Amino acid sequence: MTSSITEPALDRPDLFVDGEWTSPTGGATTDVVEAATEQVLGTAASATPADVDLAVAAARRALPAWRALRAEARADLLDAFAAQLKARAKSTAVLSSRENGMPISLSVGVNGYAPSLMVSYYANLLRKKDDDDIRPSALGTRTVVRHEPVGVVAAITPWNYPQSLAAMKIAPALAAGCTVVLKPSPETALDAYVFADAALAAGLPAGVLNIVPGGRETGAALVEHPGVDKVAFTGSTAAGRAIGETCGRLLRPVTLELGGKSASIVTADANLAEFASHLAEVSLVNNGQTCHACTRILAPRSRYEEVVDAVTSTVSALAVGDPLDRATQVGPLVTDAQRRRVLDYVEIGRSAGHRLTTGGGVPADRDTGWFVEPTVFADVDNSARLAQEEIFGPVLTITPYSDEDEAVAIANDSPYGLGGTVWCADPERGIALADRIESGTVGVNHYALDLAAPFGGVKDSGLGRELGPEGMAPYRRTKSIYL
Ligand code: NAD
């Protein structure tokens, strides 16, 4: 199978195992459907548990040589891999947007360029890292503390940011000296093959990276596999809990990046124009299909109607349309099932008597594609289902608060703790408020992930961190050698 650098193949009937294209044992393929057109975009192989066996065996065979490579040599190979990913960035961004409906203006960064940046980041970290550490011991002897790769990594990813979320696992794992079996989501299986194209072109050794698309059963077979040493998962809290239970039973290290229901606290002295100008990227990014989206807006009673007006007018003016049009701010949802789920939540909001200030249906001019109008409900008590449950679509709630203590209490009254923002005139006060929010990440007057800083959640949002130097730690374990 071949594909040019500019145009990735859309017909991918094979798996990528041991550096080769191999037919799935069951011969099964899954159609990947384009979110905006509802037409079949391409087909991807569907791996069986027997294929998972082959992929894990290939990763195990590749492990000794890969982990034994000197850091410099591994970093050079990763740089070559990054260059190949970068050469494909534009076409990968388009492919991912066609799969999941992400506006192209966002996809170019997060699906296009981010993977190569992450691979380069960890290659550089590898060059800088002093791997071993010799410590004087309390007994007057010395101890060598080695950092070893954990081994074979099972990486399981969702469809919403398919490239970034895979790279957040592949890049630190390979840098640490681990080998990887990636199981991407069936909705976005096609873009995952770009990692295989880039690995082949860069000359990554066979078996270092293996790709086995498939559904939940394929993922479960991988998590359970005796040849896997560590699981890195991003997806729903329900699936994460099941995977965490399995890993607990197997005493297998696991990183879980799960759901969210983050809050934006708009303080009484916030610059509302600035808040509104960031609303699309903070609260509705990727059509609301973002784990860290701040979908709960908490507004001070003193300025409540002003905030409701600002949110309503900003959201109602968003450009909804073709995800491949650079002017589009909100595209279609990933699947019909996802749209039905989101529209069900809109009905729950209506029945609960919340005040619908904009949206609430399917755009009248969009009869093809799984679009939902960006929607705002005001006067939502934080105990309501709309404020407690992850909707994963373009639906915001607005809740009033009386003072900042109450704002913090409402922000923290959630099963989740992944993102959050504070909007206020004084950034120092913003940091003080951010310190009080139970969450793995908080933004002050903006929200943007930083490749060099850890990202992850608390409570039902997960366990462990990705990105930054901390993102490499889960792929290594220490060994103390007492001299
Ligand atoms: P999902 O949990 O249904 O699926 C995610 C991946 O896991 C898919 O590849 C799926 O095939 C696989 N899978 C599902 N059940 C499994 C099981 N029992 N064992 C092994 N593999 C299994 O999630 P989704 O609908 O694809 O993605 C949306 C969810 O992902 C949302 O809840 C969102 O908040 C979350 N998410 C979290 C982050 C984060 O970093 N915290 C980032 C993006 C998405």
Same domain, yes or no: 287 and 242:
no
Q: Which atom of ligand 1 is nearest to the CA of 338?
A: 25
The amino acid present at 386, given as its one-letter code, is L
Report phi then psi at 375, rounded to 5: -130, 140
**How many whole angstroms separate alpha carbon 243 and alpha carbon 247?**
6
**Amino acid 6: pLDDT:** 61
Domain CATH for 444: 3.40.309.10
Ligand 1: atom nearest CA of 214 is 11
d(CA 106, CA 26): 36
Measured by CA distance, the residue closest to atom 18 of ligand 1 is: 239
pLDDT tens-place string over residues 214-246: 999 999 999 999 999 999 999 999 999 999 999
Of the candidates 465, 415, 409, the one whose C-alpha atom is nearest the C-alpha of residue 440 is 465
pLDDT at 71: 95
Mean pLDDT for 329-354 is: 98
Instruction: Report which residue type is found at 11.
Output: D
- In this prediction, residue 1 has a pLDDT band, given cuts at 50, 70 and 90, of very low
Tally of domains within the chain: 2
- The answer on 327 and 426 residing in a single domain is yes
Question: Is 2's pLDDT higher than 60?
Answer: no
Tokens of 187: 């909705």
Give me the amino acid identity at 305.
E
214 and 71 share a domain?
Answer: yes
Instruction: Based on the fold, state whether residues 127 and 165 are members of the same structural domain.
Output: yes
Q: What is the pTM of this model?
A: 0.97
Tokens encoding 123: 């290659």
The share of the chain scoring above pLDDT 70, in percent, equals 98
Residue among 34, 224, 257, 373 flagged as catalytic: 257
- 281 is annotated as an active-site residue: no
The three-class DSSP label of residue 40 is strand
Whether the per-residue pLDDT at 3 is higher than 60: the answer is no
- Pair type for strands 152-156 and 230-234: parallel
Which residues are 482's β-sheet partners? 143
- In tens, the pLDDT along 186-195 reads 999 999 999 9
Domain that includes residue 286, residue range = 263-450
Summary mean pLDDT of the chain: 97
Residues contacting ligand 1 via CB (< 6 Å): 156-161, 165, 183, 185, 215-216, 219-220, 223, 234-236, 239, 242-243, 257-260, 291, 390, 392, 418, 457, 461-462
130 and 48, same structural domain?
yes
Q: Which residue has the least CA distance to atom 32 on ligand 1?
A: 236
**Cβ atoms of residues 420 and 261 within 8 Å:** no
**CB-based burial label for 218 (10 Å; 0-12, 13-18, 19+):** buried
Among 46, 165, 216, 286, the mutation site with the greatest number of ligand 1 atoms within 8 A of its Cβ is 216
Find out whether 457 and 464 touch, Cβ atoms under 8 Å: no
| 398 SS3 class | strand
Q: Which residues have CB under 8 Å from 244's CB, separation 6+?
A: 254, 256, 463
CB 145 within 8 A of CB 133: yes
Judge whether 298 lies within some domain: yes
**How far is Cα 117 from Cα 272, in angstroms, rounded to an integer?**
33
Distance CA 467, CA 167 (A): 10
* 320 and 335 inside one domain: yes
Structural domain contains residue 8: no
